[in-house]
Structure 1
Amino acid sequence: MRRIAMLVLLAVFAFLSPGAGPAEASKCLAFVEGPARVLPASLTLVQAAETVQIRYVGHSTFRVQTPAGVVIATDYAGYAGPGPVPTVVTMNHAHETHYTDYPDPAIAHVLRGWNPAGDGPAMHDLLVGDVYIRNVPSDIRRWGSAAVEPAGNSIFIFEVADLCIGHLGHLHQTLSPEQRALIGRLDVVFAPVDGSYTLDIASMIEVLNDLKASIVIPMHFFGTSSLQRFLAGMSEAFEIGFAPAEVIEVSIESLPDRPTVLVPWGILN
């Protein structure tokens, strides 16, 4: 355990080393276990709780709008829902429903969760308006085979309005201690719950119990069978709720007292 802890610390220190860029702005990174946060003296905390708007577009795409009006579309495959063109889109390399080679040229920042050059993992460290965006790479199975694509997926993390929001992408593996440390704290997490193309339901529940987010929003399910199995498995440790409207509004002050699975609007209605 001591050796694992040292490896985790080395991984986090490497991530925060000089030249790593805006990673110094992270308030969500945690060292091994413990509540420590990285808070540079120049960073001003939000004085009044600001609201982040989240709309489920479908499959694994969410449209996230920050208080300053930055629009992010996750797992963008060419459609980002109604409204203006997103400022930022994120993608992973699972298959064509999670990325596009032809993003709208009006999108200012296209963040691929894999490195097309193939000479190492994709690493993103970006400040856009009031949101800081980073990623933690993970391996995926190659589509249609048992082969593994190293760092073919990314867990994208959006830090805004004192919230830590994570999108697990097309997660195919439970988290290593190093990945868990680099993720840090999550308040809201988007989790794939199909139970077959990504992690099996039991393993996904294990990951979410470890992450301890206040709100889990399920995504990437085909029909309601896997979703219902997921909700049944989560019901011991989490409240089960249903979003009352298309747009979910979240602030640091509105997080539930007990961890909650929040099913997107209209899914089971």
Structure 2
Amino acid sequence: MRRGLFGLVAVVCLLGLAVSAKAQPAGAGEERPSQCRAIASLMPKATFAQFSTNDRGLFENPQSDQTVRITYVTHATFLIESPRGVVAATDFAGYAGGVVPDIATMNKAHSSHNTPYPDPAIQHVLPGWNLGGDGPARHAVTVGDMFVRNVPTDIRSWGGVMEADGNSIFIFEVAGLCIGHLGHLHHTLTDEDYAAIGRLDILMVPVDGGMTMSQAGMGEITERLNSRIVLPMHRFRGPIDRFLEKLPDFAVEWPREDSFTISVKTLPDRPTVIVLPGV
């Protein structure tokens, strides 16, 4: 398993990369730093800095004790709630457990991942594909203490042909944590994709084994990202053995609650797959 590098290299890289801070086309608007795009090694492949017990002091900041609540709702939808009460819903298809989120991210694959009629009370609706059809979607939105950006990927159409930029991996940066949702990912990721994603402390990954990618393929992506917490989703109630087989060094937990809180300081030292109820 590839392990992240720590120390000065990570700090320098954390400070050196930036993404757009407004929901505008790439290259437009103000720039703000992304705490997650920390490239620790470029050879032979990109590897990303991760927290460890010994090195968390390098990342101490006023956010380190703040907690984020994550709740599994259904299918590919999670709620992410910031310390200041900003709520994001992932792959929002019109239902978020009775909550009206401040931010709703969506993907193109199926009606279970998007809605053409989002509640007008949602402040920011972020489709993972370009509604205008010309080039990829580009989002970089700050709402209160949460920053959301996307990394476009391709998607497989109903006819089996790959459609460029039809999916997005959304990254939520909040309370010092980097939380990534792979959406309806249909292909392996390139080094450039991994570099654009950066560090993910928490990863939400589809494990259906067919409609997105094979479980083994998703396991390989998960192993390389080496997130501290992995949250399977998009499971269709089938076994996830082939996914877990690719992660022999990860702990596996099956909690009874569909919600938990997490902070930088409470991330597990050993990478852990948490299968929430209902997944």
Shorter-chain TM-score: what band?
0.7 to 0.9
Deviations 1:145-199 (A, max 9, x none): 1111110000000000000000000010111111100100000000000010001
RMSD: 2.5
In structure 2, do the counterparts of structure 1 residues 257 and 140 end up closer, same or farther at CA, with 3 Å as the change threshold? same
User: Could you say which residue in structure 2 is the equivalent of 1:178?
Assistant: 192
In structure 2, do the counterparts of structure 1 residues 34 and 21 end up closer, same or farther at CA, with 3 Å as the change threshold? farther
Q: Does 1:213 align with 2:232?
A: no
Q: Distance in 2 between matches of 1:155 and 1:54?
A: 17
User: Could you say which residue in structure 2 is the equivalent of 1:163?
Assistant: 177
- The match for 1:62 among 59, 65, 78 is 78
Instruction: Map 1:125-140 to 2 at 5 A.
Output: 125-140=140-155
| 1:116 Cα deviation from its structure 2 partner | 1.0
Cα pair 1:93 1:152 within 8 Å, conserved: yes
Q: Does 1:111 align with 2:126?
A: yes
Cα pair 1:22 1:125 within 8 Å, conserved: no
Q: Does 1:201 align with 2:215?
A: yes
Q: Distance in 1 between matches of 2:127 and 2:89?
A: 12
Q: Secondary structure at the match of 1:243?
A: coil
Letter in 2 for 1:116: L
Cα pair 1:153 1:169 within 8 Å, conserved: yes
Q: Does 1:25 align with 2:33?
A: yes
| 1:15 Cα deviation from its structure 2 partner | 5.4
Instruction: Map 1:10-159 to 2 at 5 A.
Output: 19-21=27-29, 23-31=31-39, 32=42, 33=46, 45-83=61-99, 85-142=100-157, 144-159=158-173
Please report the TM-score for the alignment, with normalisation by the length of structure 1: 0.85
Give every structure 1 segment of 4 or more consecutive aligned residues whose post-TM-superposition deviation is greater than 2 Å: 12-25, 30-37, 44-48, 227-234
Letter in 1 for 2:67: T
User: Could you say which residue in structure 1 is the equivalent of 2:4?
Assistant: none
Cα pair 1:215 1:255 within 8 Å, conserved: yes
| 1:233 Cα deviation from its structure 2 partner | 3.6
Q: Could you list the runs of 5+ residues in structure 1 that have no partner in the other structure?
A: 1-11, 38-43
Percent identity at matched positions?
51
| Residue range with higher mean Cα deviation, 248-257 or 20-29 | 20-29
Q: Secondary structure at the match of 1:230?
A: helix
Deviations 1:98-122 (A, max 9, x none): 0010001110000000001111100
Deviations 1:28-82 (A, max 9, x none): 0123446679xxxxxx932541110011001000011110000111000010113
Q: Could you list the runs of 5+ residues in structure 2 that have no partner in the other structure?
A: 1-15, 51-59
Q: Distance in 2 between matches of 1:20 and 1:45?
A: 29
Please report the TM-score for the alignment, with normalisation by the length of structure 2: 0.82
Cα pair 1:113 1:153 within 8 Å, conserved: yes
| 1:221 Cα deviation from its structure 2 partner | 0.9
Q: Distance in 2 between matches of 1:112 and 1:248?
A: 26
Cα pair 1:30 1:182 within 8 Å, conserved: no
User: Could you say which residue in structure 2 is the equivalent of 1:222?
Assistant: 236
Deviations 1:119-154 (A, max 9, x none): 110000111000110000000001x21111110000
Q: Distance in 2 between matches of 1:205 and 1:262?
A: 14
Q: Does 1:191 align with 2:190?
A: no
| 1:22 Cα deviation from its structure 2 partner | 5.7
Letter in 2 for 1:76: F
| 1:24 Cα deviation from its structure 2 partner | 2.4
User: Could you say which residue in structure 2 is the equivalent of 1:231?
Assistant: 244
| Residue range with higher mean Cα deviation, 212-221 or 12-21 | 12-21
User: Could you say which residue in structure 2 is the equivalent of 1:262?
Assistant: 274
